[in-house]
Structure 1
Amino acid sequence: MPASKRFDGPGLIDQLLADPHRFEFFQAVRLLELALSDGPAPASELVPRQLKFRNSVSLSFPVNEIEALSVQRTEAHEGQAQDQPIERVEMTPAFMGLLGMTGALPFSYTEQIAQRELYQRDFAARSFLDLFSNRAVALFYAAWKKSRLHLQYESDRRNRFAPMVLALAGLGQSSLRDRLGPEQGGVGDESLAFFAGALQHRALSASQLAQLLARYLHVPVRIEQFCGRWYPLPAGARTELGIGNGVLGRNALSGERVWQRDLRVKLILGPLTHELFRRFLPGAPGATALRELTTLLSGVSLEYEVNLTLRADAVDGSTLSSRRSPLAGRLGWDTYVQTRPQHVDRCDVRYEIHAAQA
């Protein structure tokens, strides 16, 4: 519901079509380009194909950048609303062209063409000159837009802008696009483009990794390095009596497992609300995004232990029910047996992320 003092006026496109004289040329073309971007034409071809620029036949001093603007909409069939999508737009700029007060041709051409249109209803001459001025004005707008990256992102972010930024991180090839499963809750290419400056440094520090994950996931992230763990030794690496495969002080090992600290990192997320907590449980979209992002940042050299911290006020008891509810708890993850409110955050949920097992 809008605020009581908020003015609920017409949209920018409606204002532009109703009174084009109030808009600057570049802003008007930009708005029309956005309005036409849902059509079948590619973003790079919207201006020359669906937005036509005409010559002015007025010899009065131009007080605005836009002299006239006309719209052709899709034909409405029986039973359809009359306000159909815009199909084609014709704009008459007052500051550029072959005819008019600021035109490149002598005024006599404008006078003759204006007389033919007024007395003989012959528009062929101006339509012929429009073929040349339309291209010139379109190139003028394209040159203005080319040096403004935010406009390129706005109109053609996926096919032009995003690949250029992703190339800074080594992900600009088309074969590397959409590989992190954005449909299943992973990481989209636009998010990777946002972090391209950090991704180009393959050896990220712990603080950089924590800041990047916190910025993308919108949750507090803390990292503990060198978390040790026992790793089982392959049978061929174990030392056995009577077999010459071990030298004391070099590669002789006692036991079936070894303690290592350089392969494991702990990611502590939270404190989290109950909704965010469920989002980062295994199989949820947040956990998928976390796995894909950590795999991209560190490859297969590290494994991660994810520690989820649930806020004390979000810990709730479990209730048995015969109905299957989407909010039902998952045994061993977010189900608790309690008789009184919690005063300490719960941090006993842990699971592992390893790129080699993803």
Structure 2
Amino acid sequence: MGTPHRPPADSLSASAGESLRRFWRRVADAPHAYDLYHLLRWFDARAGGRVPLGRATHPADEPVRLGQQPSLAFAPSTLACATAPRADALPQVSIYSFGLFGPNGPLPLHLTEFARDRARNYDDRTLTAFADVFHHRLILLFYRVWADAQPTVSLDRREGARFDNYLASLVHLGLPALRRRDEIPDHAKYFMAAHLVRQTRNPEGLRQILRAYLGVPVEIVEHVPHWIPVGARQRTTLRTHANTQRLGAGAMLGIAALDAHAKFEIRVGPLSREAYLALLPGTRRARQLTDWVRQYIGLEWAWDLRLVLAADQVTGNTLGRDQPLGWGSWLGTRTRRCAADDLVYSPETSTHRHAQAE
């Protein structure tokens, strides 16, 4: 599926066009206050060119013209001057810092002096304009090399985000089918790449991920006992004579087995009432937490979520308040002021039930 391009410059809205005009007026009034990279990056993101600056195959496809102002002085700033766009002309930018002329350029100084003299005293920019044919392309290529190496610059345009592909591949999410597949934004996963790229998984890694993403205290309680149901075919009955169900070898008493190795508990809190309600079953925040656990450890382990409501947030039932029965309401009188940590549920089964209901 192709990525849609931004509209061309001539189709920008009136507000966007006015914003560009104001920007170019500020640059023209004080060019020394702007850096070349900053200027080109801002313009590349706002101008709406079909391709990024430095990638066009023909200068006619680029929305700006660049050149160098011949000068014998060492560059006092990056930019020399700028001309705002007009109805019949694209914006123009002249720089000091990079080009064929000047004390740092490859050409002999007498050619710089000649080009400067012709432009200033005779209004003849023939040599300068000829050199700008090469300056325009070289400056944009120079900018493109810098921009391609900056993670944030790649996000300025919709078709960019090159570093997204790098980080996605690093955490094994490089295929398009693995993007935007759950409630967690892809960039949140890239931010946690240091945890997700590791081959081993540990409670501390999961705790740090959830604390950073949810912004609340999180603790992991390991070795939580739970009962594992035994299938009907695996249960020991008096009518069976299978060798696998001998006493002391394969026989099992009951319909479930107690296990303390395959389950853990995520304890979240103390929470404000708003954060508490946001993590109740079926909420988007609860689904995000579930997706983080699946992303980090998969579906191998069983786990529960325990929500802890801060002591000063625990109140009695009052008509007209948002107090979900069984989840965020309490009856009776509390004998001591403490956090409420009696709500425990399994987000995996709760998410499945809510998905079926929807």
TM-score of the two chains, using structure 1 as the length reference:
0.76
The Cα of 1:274 is off from its aligned counterpart by 0.5
Question: Equivalent residue for 1:235?
Answer: 232
Q: Distance in 1 between matches of 2:24 and 2:317?
A: 53
1:195 aligns with 2:206: no
Q: Distance in 2 between matches of 1:13 and 1:333?
A: 57
The Cα of 1:336 is off from its aligned counterpart by 2.5
The amino acid of 1:220's aligned partner reads P
Question: Equivalent residue for 2:7?
Answer: none
**SS at 2:85 equivalent:** strand
Q: Distance in 2 between matches of 1:209 and 1:347?
A: 21
**SS at 2:346 equivalent:** strand
Q: Distance in 1 between matches of 2:194 and 2:24?
A: 36
The amino acid of 1:337's aligned partner reads L
**SS at 2:201 equivalent:** coil
1:205 to 177, 202, 205: 202
**Change in CA separation of 1:35 and 1:273 when aligned onto 2, cut-off 3 Å:** farther
Q: Distance in 2 between matches of 1:188 and 1:288?
A: 12
**SS at 1:243 equivalent:** coil
**SS at 1:337 equivalent:** coil
**SS at 1:354 equivalent:** helix
Q: Deviations over 1:235-281 (max 9, x none)?
A: 12112222233232222112212212222110000011111111111
Q: Distance in 1 between matches of 2:211 and 2:340?
A: 20
1:343 aligns with 2:337: yes
1:34 aligns with 2:42: yes
1:287 aligns with 2:286: yes
Q: Distance in 2 between matches of 1:17 and 1:190?
A: 37
Is residue 62–residue 101 contact of structure 1 (8 Å, CA) maintained in 2? no
Number of aligned pairs? Answer: 322
RMSD (Å), alpha carbons: 3.6
1:171 to 144, 163, 173: 173
Is residue 223–residue 268 contact of structure 1 (8 Å, CA) maintained in 2? yes
Is residue 307–residue 350 contact of structure 1 (8 Å, CA) maintained in 2? yes
2:80 to 67, 70, 74: 67
Once the two structures are superposed, the pairs formed by residues 74-223 of structure 1 within 5 Å of their partners are 89-99=91-101, 103-105=105-107, 107-108=110-111, 111=114, 115=118, 126-147=128-149, 149-152=150-153, 155=156, 159-180=161-182, 186-223=183-220
Q: Deviations over 1:31-50 (max 9, x none)?
A: 44135414534684378633
Is residue 302–residue 354 contact of structure 1 (8 Å, CA) maintained in 2? no
1:333 to 321, 327, 333: 327
**Change in CA separation of 1:209 and 1:128 when aligned onto 2, cut-off 3 Å:** same
**Change in CA separation of 1:195 and 1:43 when aligned onto 2, cut-off 3 Å:** farther
2:63 to 45, 50, 56: 50
Name structure 2 gaps, 5 residues minimum.
Answer: 1-21, 57-61
Q: Distance in 2 between matches of 1:146 and 1:31?
A: 16
**Change in CA separation of 1:207 and 1:103 when aligned onto 2, cut-off 3 Å:** closer
The amino acid of 2:322's aligned partner reads A
**SS at 2:138 equivalent:** helix
The amino acid of 2:254's aligned partner reads G
Is residue 101–residue 111 contact of structure 2 (8 Å, CA) maintained in 1? no
Q: Distance in 1 between matches of 2:199 and 2:332?
A: 45
**SS at 1:301 equivalent:** coil
Aligned-residue sequence identity (percent) comes to: 25
Question: Equivalent residue for 1:84?
Answer: none
The amino acid of 1:288's aligned partner reads R
The amino acid of 1:90's aligned partner reads Q
The Cα of 1:319 is off from its aligned counterpart by 2.2
Moved more, 235-244 or 156-165: 156-165
Q: Distance in 2 between matches of 1:112 and 1:202?
A: 62
Q: Deviations over 1:143-166 (max 9, x none)?
A: 34455x455566469621122123
